[in-house]
Structure 1
Amino acid sequence: MPTLILRHFLAHLRLYFALLIIILLILLPTFPKVLPGEHLAQIKARDFITAHTRNTPTTYYEGRQGPTGFEYELMHLFAEHLGVSLNLNAKHHPESVLSAVSEQGDFGAAALPLKPATPGVHYTRPIIQMQPLVVYRRGLHGIQEPGDLTGLELGTLSEAGTSEALRELQQDYPALSWKESTELEVAELLAQVENGTLDAAVIFDHQFRLNRLFFPNVERGFLLGDPLSMVWAVPSGRGLGLLEAANQFLQDLDESGMLDHLVNRYFGHDDYLEYVGTRTFLAHLDTRLPPFVDLFQQAASETGFDWKLLAAVGYQESHWDEEAVSPTGVRGLMMLTHPTASEMGVNNRRDAAQSIDGGARYLRSLKDRLPESITGSDRLYMAMAAYNIGLGHLYDARKITEMRGGDPNLWRDVRESLPLLQHQAWHSQTRHGYARGGEPVIYVRNIRRYYEMLEYVERSRQQFFQLERSGNDTPSLLPFELVPPRNP
């Protein structure tokens, strides 16, 4: 009897387990599961990929040719590699990039440092190395080694990776202290060093090389700690397909040499906009300008500008070199972008006649498109600034000028606002975002300087011609040869 009961019990138990297995098999397909390529498949199905990034010169911003930046070019190439369009969310700081990626985004590209075991994300293979660098205000002496930072007003960006180098240093120098910000960007940090709010700051070396021209009172100090790896971040809970695709893309880019090309183009020099000495300018007057004088004069007669002004713009753009090519791809004597050349009907940007004609007409169009409330020399200077930075960013600077209580129709007020486009607190309130706003200020100033020197040379030349006609024995000068004044 007990044996029979046991047999019935075992039979019922086997039936129970069989039914349980059947139920699980029925319900299992409805349980959520992540397939290896699910996230990547979703991206391709919707035909776009969303990148979370930052509005900074080393990452992404609206430049003279439109969207640009080292990581922007990488993101754009990656989207093309996947066969989808690129959608950007650029209103981020490094910390918010990671949270956005882990919660909803496709990937993050914002000069992110590799930090193992970050919750919610996976990191790609390294893209480039980022070396922390100490910079300090000109006039402070003896900042040559880590111990010299003790007691200084020191700042850095939170979650950017540079604070890790400071924490390691603090182990050897316990008295070391610094301020971290989740609101500022690199240009704003450098501005605080420039104006004395901070004594020094820690940023990355490549960031300083791109910004140093606009902060002449900030000195390069010393490298701090070991380099960090720049990486992209992808969400960790949605399959590995996107991570594998990104790693393969970055590997192919590295092996093809394209990655090195982009690194050299963006970070292989301090900046393409340089200060030019009087001696060099005068030498170029004699050796480079003469073949182009007739072309500048012809363009001036058709656009209403002084030919010497157009020549000054050409010198600022290319040093009167019809073969010039900038690191950002603009080219020719007047350094036209491809879209601008197309708009002006220029087929060959390296043809001096086409370049000068197209550049003059483009400057004319910018001047004509400005509001009628801007008049006189203010209108000309703002048109020149727009030639450099674009009308959109110029209008943003005018908006900031109004917000600050200035006159948006006066160049002297707008030029004070243009550098603020490098500050997140200001450019976040504008339509076009970050811009290297200090650049057009230098640009216009240089053109005015070159124009004044051309005016001086022209007057001197006319005086000597008058002496020759009057029978004076003073020898004539070759075109534009001149001994410069002591303080031109």
Structure 2
Amino acid sequence: MLMKILTTILLGFIVTFCSPEPTLLETIKTQGELVVVTRQSPTTYYVNVDGETMGLEYELAQQFATELGVQLKLVVAQRYADILPMVVSQQVHFAAAGLTINNERRSQVRFSPAYQKTTHQLVYRKNTPNVPRSLADLNETTTLVLIEGTSQVDLVTRLQQQDYPHLTWQTVDLSPAEVLEKINTGEIKFSLLHASEITQIQRFFPELQVSFEVAEDELIAWAFPRTVGDDSLYIAAMRFINRLRASGDLDRLIDRYYGHIDFTEFDYVDTRTFYRHVEERLPFYRKYFEQVGLLYNLDWRLLAAMGYQESHWNPEAVSYTGVRGIMMLTHATAMEVNIQDREDPYQSIDGAARYFLMLRGKVDEDVPEPDRTWLALAAYNVGLGHLYDAQQLARQQGHDPKRWIDVKKTLPLLSEPTWYRRTRHGYARGSEPVYFVNNVRRFYDKLLASLDTLHADDHEIRIFSPQQPTQYLSPVQTPML
């Protein structure tokens, strides 16, 4: 009896004091939440005008949390400079905030595999005098405004020490969007920011201009604490990102946010014209777009974007091929959807909506959004048969015919004899539907986006769960993990 008691005590001692500590990954799964710091930005995380949570970093982090089977708890940093200290002090599990990799940061944190790249650009307002065109043009009287805690500060510090001792700068506690707004109003003259940030905001402030790029591309990645002995979460994140890259899902996700944006050239005139037409033309036809959208459960802004691409919201528009009206319907399409007067704005919009819905209904049901919409838009422009041909070519080349990022590569092949001779419906100007879809997406973004949605309460925590409704909590101080 005594031996049994001693044996029980000994086993209890072994279980209590000799069992291995749970790994960080095991602890996260047990507690049921992944805590990630991010920042408010159109490139990372934001809530759009419809109350939908958006952003590349948000979607990546949400997918990772879903894979782990836990909730995602986002901590929105109050200041850019707060992000890395929160990682270093382990107040969060990692940062998904559009952080670029450099040697200065490597000494503080360790980075996941990169999933995107960007570069630094000098940005200013159009018609600003004495704009520097290179680093050599910057002098003691040209003070750059940089955001505290960003890689731009690290870069300029390094450049000053190496080759440009004349560089001067001041740091501000603002977001990239706020800096760009102040450049647009003239409060700030010159700043150095990431190209991805500038391009996203430039669509809404067309007066913003880029003078030159500084340094080579920088890679963007998640930042993790430099813990010793427990790599479980870090390894899981590495495997997750590598799988996304290998499957093509990472490219598709990036295409969702950036595939329709031209990073190499900004069309100032086109953007200014668009906003002028928003003010001068759209008010006359908005009610028709809204009524038709409500009738068919379509986003009226998507219909409006299609209408702008087709006619710049001109109900009397006529092309040399005979298409006409605000939605530029062909005679055959008008007959198919029973439209009597193509130049009547309401009839034109109504007919285009029904035709678009018919096409979208013929796209495979298992095609996810937004790919389903982009493919239907391509068919709206080039015809359903030619879309099917491009999908077949994508399949033959080992691409995914249900993903827009793959089909938009094969659509242009329909104008090449080597390829269109293999198809059922033959020749088509396949580059045009790609151009059409990209433009509709750009115009839709401009109608949808509002910079005001990028300024939520600082340090607000939002919990996102694939199983439960979104919960909104009051701003709190995140405890040490």
For normalisation by structure 2, the TM-score amounts to 0.55
Equivalent residues of 1:134, 1:221 under 8 A apart: yes
Following the alignment from structure 2 to structure 1, what is the Cα–Cα distance between the partners of residues 24 and 116? 26
Q: CA deviation at 1:127?
A: 2.1
Q: CA deviation at 1:429?
A: 7.4
* TM alignment of 1:214-233, pairs within 5 A: 214-233=204-223
Counterpart residue type for residue 154 of structure 1: L
Query: Displaced runs of 4+ in structure 1, greater than 4 A?
Result: 26-31, 115-120, 271-274, 276-281, 289-298, 309-315, 317-330, 332-335, 387-390, 429-433
Higher relative contact order (CA 8 A, sep 6+): 2
Following the alignment from structure 1 to structure 2, what is the Cα–Cα distance between the partners of residues 51 and 310? 49
Following the alignment from structure 1 to structure 2, what is the Cα–Cα distance between the partners of residues 195 and 319? 43
Counterpart residue type for residue 120 of structure 2: P
* TM alignment of 1:217-256, pairs within 5 A: 217-237=207-227, 239-256=230-247
Shift in CA distance, 318/267, structure 1 to aligned 2, threshold 3 Å: farther
Counterpart residue type for residue 373 of structure 2: R
The superposition leaves residues 436-463 of structure 1 with CA deviations (integer Å, 9 ceiling, x where unpaired) of xxxxxxxxxxxxxxxxxxxxxxxxxxxx
* TM alignment of 1:115-264, pairs within 5 A: 115-116=102-103, 121-140=109-128, 142-150=131-139, 151-171=141-161, 172-182=163-173, 184-237=174-227, 239-264=230-255
* TM alignment of 1:44-443, pairs within 5 A: 44-63=29-48, 64=50, 66-101=52-87, 102-116=89-103, 121-140=109-128, 142-150=131-139, 151-171=141-161, 172-182=163-173, 184-237=174-227, 239-270=230-261, 275=274, 276=308, 281=314, 282=317, 283=319, 285-286=324-325, 287-288=328-329, 291=333, 308=345, 331=373, 389=448, 419-422=451-454, 424=455, 427-428=456-457
For normalisation by structure 1, the TM-score amounts to 0.54
Following the alignment from structure 2 to structure 1, what is the Cα–Cα distance between the partners of residues 116 and 77? 23
Counterpart residue type for residue 149 of structure 1: L
Aligned length: 318
Following the alignment from structure 2 to structure 1, what is the Cα–Cα distance between the partners of residues 100 and 180? 20
- Please name the residue that 1:456 is paired with: none
Q: CA deviation at 1:277?
A: 7.9
Shift in CA distance, 292/208, structure 1 to aligned 2, threshold 3 Å: farther
- Name structure 1 gaps, 5 residues minimum: 1-25, 299-306, 336-384, 391-417, 434-488
Give the superposed CA RMSD: 4.6
Following the alignment from structure 2 to structure 1, what is the Cα–Cα distance between the partners of residues 371 and 79? 28
Counterpart residue type for residue 149 of structure 2: E
Shift in CA distance, 85/271, structure 1 to aligned 2, threshold 3 Å: farther
Query: Tell me, what secondary structure is at the counterpart of 1:164?
Result: helix
Equivalent residues of 1:51, 1:86 under 8 A apart: yes
Equivalent residues of 2:77, 2:458 under 8 A apart: no
The superposition leaves residues 191-217 of structure 1 with CA deviations (integer Å, 9 ceiling, x where unpaired) of 111111122211111222212111111
Query: Tell me, what secondary structure is at the counterpart of 1:266?
Result: helix
Q: CA deviation at 1:241?
A: 0.2
Which structure's CA Rg is the greater one? 1
Equivalent residues of 2:39, 2:45 under 8 A apart: yes
Equivalent residues of 2:75, 2:461 under 8 A apart: no
Q: CA deviation at 1:133?
A: 1.2
Equivalent residues of 1:165, 1:224 under 8 A apart: no
